[in-house]
Structure 1
Amino acid sequence: MSKIDYTSIRVTKEVRKSLQKYVEECYSDLSINSMLKVHMGNLNDGHVCFPKFGMYECPESRKQKIRLSINKKSIKKSRNNLSLTGSLPSDPYTRTESDTMGEMEVPKSALWGASTQRAVLNFPISGIQMSRSFIRALGYIKAGSAVANAELGIITKEMSEVIVSASLSVADGDYDEHFPVDVFQTGSGTSTNMNANEVIATISTKNFDSKIHPNDHVNQ
C-alpha cells in the first residue's frame, strides 16, 4: 500500500476503542492487541500507522485485503504474548489526568494535563505552536502573578518561590516542547493559558511538599 494511505495516530483508550470496533468488523477472531501487533507492529513510540479510510468504516474490499494479509502471518506467537479478549489494558504510553470537565489520557512523559490535552485533540488545525516570544512572555506573567499573590496572602511565600522558579524556566525556553497547543484555537487563548498553568504546576509540585494546582495556585 502506498504511503499516502496511512496516517499516524496516538494510541489512547479512545483510539483503541475505535480500532477495536474496526478490527471486529474486519476480522472477528482478532482483538485490538493482536491486530496492532500482527498487522501494524509499530508500537515502539506509542504510535501506529493505520489506514485513514479504515478508521471508522471498513469497505468490504478492505476487509478482504486485511484478512488475506493477516492470514499470511503467524498469529500463534501473538496469541501467547497478547490477550485476545478485546479488553483495554493500561496504556504504558499514557497516564490519566482529570479536571472539572472530566478525564483525559495524557502522554506519560508530558508535563501538561487534561485541559491542554483536550485542546490538542479539539484544535488540530495548523500544526503551528505558540512562538518562543509568546511563551517567554507568558512565563514572566506567571512569575509576576506568583509574587503578587504571595504579597496579598493568596498563596504562601514558599509556594510562590517554586512557582516563580518554574515560571522563569518556562520563560527561558527549558520546556517549549511541552507547549503543544495549536496557535489557532477557540476563545481568548484559554487553552494556551491552561497549558502554561499545568506545565508550571507540574514542575512546581516536584519541588514542593504538597500538590500545586494549575488553577487554584498558578492561575490566581
Structure 2
Amino acid sequence: MVDKSVYSCQHSITSIKIVLRTDMSSKRQLLISTAFKLFYKKGIHAVGINEILAESGVAKKTLYNHFSSKEALLLAVLQYRDEIYCQWLQSEFDKADRGVAKIDALFSALDNWFNDRTQVLALFHGCFFINVSAEYGELNSLIHQQCIHHKIRVESIIREAVKTLTEDPERIAEITQTLCYLKEGATVKAHVQGDKKSALNAREIAIKIIS
C-alpha cells in the first residue's frame, strides 16, 4: 500500500527544487542581461558590482553564488552577446537569396543596427567586443580570447554566405576577408565618428569589388 502522505511530501520537495532552480536560473540571466546593458553603455571599468546589483535588484550573495568575480560575470556577458549577435546575423543572411543578395543583406543589417532599428541588439554603442578588448588588451587573457572567438565565429558566418556567391576557395577567402574588413571599418566609423551611413558606403565598395 502506497503512503500517499509520503508521496505528497516528496512531490512537494521536488516541486520546490524545480522552482528554486528556475529562480536561480532567472536571477543569473537577469544579472547577465543587466550587466550587458550597463557595460555596453558605460564601459566595463566604469561599472561596479554595486551598480549592477542596484539595477538588477539581485542580492550580492546571489551574484557570487553564480559568479566568482566581475571578470567571471563579464565572460558570461560576452557569451550572451555573442549568441544574440550571431543568431541575429545568421537570421539576416537566411532571409536573403543567394549570391550578391547575401552581401547586400549584411550591410543592410548593419545599417539598421547603426541607426537603432534593430531592437534585439539594443541601442548602438559600437561593437561590444571591440570595446571590451580595448579595456582588456592582453591577448592571452580569457576575456580578450572570448572577443577573438566572437570575431572568428562572425567570420565563419560570413564565409558561409559568400559560398553562395562562388565555389572558388581562393575567391571565397578573398571576399570573406574583404567583407570582414569593411564590416569592422564601418562599425568603428559609425561609433567613433557618428557616420550613420558607413554601412551603406561600405556596401557600395563591397559590390564594386565583387562585381
State whether TM-score is above 0.5.
no
- Name the one with the larger strand percent: 1
- Name the one with the larger helix percent: 2
- TM-score range (shorter-chain normalised) is under 0.3
TM-score, normalised to structure 2's length? Answer: 0.24
TM-score, normalised to structure 1's length? Answer: 0.23
